[in-house]
């Protein structure tokens, strides 16, 4: 094995983060987010990335329960933030 699980995770997190930023900028051009949209979508994106990081790390350390809890504690709020952010952004339009 060349790369450890954690090294691979962080490499992929870099790509995922970049994709999130690109996505936000792309839709901002289209929908012109206001401050609330930015706040909601930014927080949602951060939580979503953190959720992936946490859950994969927990699986790697062999504590699957912590991974499941991570999906609940960070994943669900991230989805709510992203959906709410999307709603606010579309409503404005």
Partner 1 sequence: MTDKKTDNSSALNRRNFLKLGAAGAALGAIAIPAKAKETITKKIDEKTAGNFIKTHDEFPHEIRDDYKPHSNQDIMFTAGFWGFHPEDVDVANSGKQFGYKTFMHYEEKKGFDQLSKALNAGGWALHNNVSPLASQAISGSGILKWDQYRKKEGEFLPHHDWVNEHQYEFENKQEATNAIKRAAKLYGADLVGITKRDKRWDYSDFVDPQAIMEGRPEDSVYGWERFPFEPKSVIVVAFEMDYEAIATAPTDVQGAGAGAEYSSMTKTVYQMAVFLKQLGYQAVPCGNDTGLSIPYAIAAGLGEGSRMGNLITYKYGPRVRLAKIYTDFEFVEYDKPIEFGAMEFCKNCMRCADACPNGAITFDKEPSFEPTHENKDRSWYNAKGVKKYYMDARKCFYTWGEFGTDCGSCMASCPYNKPDFWHHRLVDKITAAMPGPVHDFMREMDQLFGYGEVGNLEKIDKFYDPKGRSYNGH
Site residues, partner 1 (CB under 8 A): 1, 3, 6-7, 10-11, 13-15, 17-18, 21-22, 25-27, 29-30, 53-54, 57-58, 60-66, 69-70, 73
Residue 8 Cβ vs partner 1, minimum distance, rounded to whole Å: 10
Residue 70 Cβ vs partner 1, minimum distance, rounded to whole Å: 8
The DSSP output letter for 93 is -
The DSSP output letter for 1 is -
**Which residue is listed with tokens 């996505």?**
23
Nearer to partner 1, 23 or 79 (CB): 23
Q: For residue 82, which phi and psi values (nearest 5 degrees)? A: -65, -45
Residue 64 Cβ vs partner 1, minimum distance, rounded to whole Å: 8
Q: Using CA atoms, how far apart are residues 51 and 31, in angstroms rounded to an integer?
A: 26
């Amino acid at each position: 094995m060349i790369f450890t699980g954690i090294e691979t995770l962080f490499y992929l997190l870099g790509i995922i983060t970049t994709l999130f930023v690109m996505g936000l900028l792309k839709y901002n051009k289209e929908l012109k987010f206001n401050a609330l949209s930015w706040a909601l979508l930014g927080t949602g994106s951060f939580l979503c990335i953190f959720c992936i990081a946490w859950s994969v790390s927990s699986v790697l350390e062999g504590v699957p329960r912590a991974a499941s809890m991570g999906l609940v504690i960070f994943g669900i709020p991230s989805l709510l933030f992203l959906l709410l952010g999307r709603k606010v952004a579309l409503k404005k339009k």
